Amino acid sequence: MKIHWRNCLLGAGVLLIAIILVTSITCRSEPARPEHAVVGKQLTLRGFQQVRDTDVFRAQLMDNSGGGYSSGYGRTRNILFVEASGEARWLLPDDDHVVEEHPLSPTSDGPGVPEPDRSTVAVVALAKPLQGGTKDEGTLYLLDPTGRKIVAIADNVREVHGTALSSQGAAVMYERSGRYFLAHYDVATLKQLREVEVAVPPLKSGGPTTR
């Protein structure tokens, strides 16, 4: 009988030690990343890559709105550009926006091309406030791939509907204040060449609308 109790106590002790070890491993905090000292642990830099034909690296500051960092989903809250000297700069001065990128390249390999594409010559970025309420409008930026030149090209933009490159420069179609605009920019200087409001012509009614 004594041996039986000794075995029970020994088994309980081993079980207790195992529970403590598992709990310790599970509860062990993940090492802090360099960006956490600036933006807190809720945001993480991902996707570091070199900008083609330059010595600049870039990365996206992401949140975990897609269900966790390991899932690979989330919203872009800012863009970081890193020079060869180690000097770095942000696209935006804060992390209170959601950034949507539209790379401009002379060729496209179709859906699934990494953002930005290796042949990107400029990027259109729409930054909407995180707490936008019902307005859901933001600022539209045009920048070179290295982030050395960044120009705010329009305010109160609801959506970017298309971007393209041509012999006439970079074309951007966007919606602002209930109207469509088509603007062209010089890719080298990022200066606006022209901007026109799209005149959507009226249509004759084809009959009652079914619901």
Interval 95-139: pLDDT, tens: 999 999 999 987 654 444 445 555 789 999 999 998 765 568 999
Closest CA to 183 of 159, 153, 150: 153
Mean pLDDT score of the chain, rounded to an integer? 82
In the chain, where the domains are located: 36-197
**pLDDT score of 68:** 46
CB 184 within 8 A of CB 170: yes
The answer on pLDDT for 6 being more than 80 is: no
Tokens of 198: 């799209």
Tokens of 90: 């942000």
Dist. CA 158–CA 135, nearest whole Å: 8
Dist. CA 204–CA 191, nearest whole Å: 39
Model-level pTM?
A: 0.76
Encoded amino acid at 81, one letter = F
The answer on pLDDT for 16 being more than 80 is: no
Please report which confidence band the pLDDT of residue 82 belongs to, taking 50, 70 and 90 as the band edges. Answer: very high
**Alpha carbons within 13 A on the beta-carbon side of 185:** 27
Highest mean pLDDT among 27-36, 56-65, 152-161, 200-209: 152-161
**pLDDT score of 106:** 79
Tell me the pLDDT tens digit for each residue of 43-73.
999 999 999 999 999 999 999 876 544 445 6
- Of the two residues 27 and 186, the one the predictor is more confident about is 186
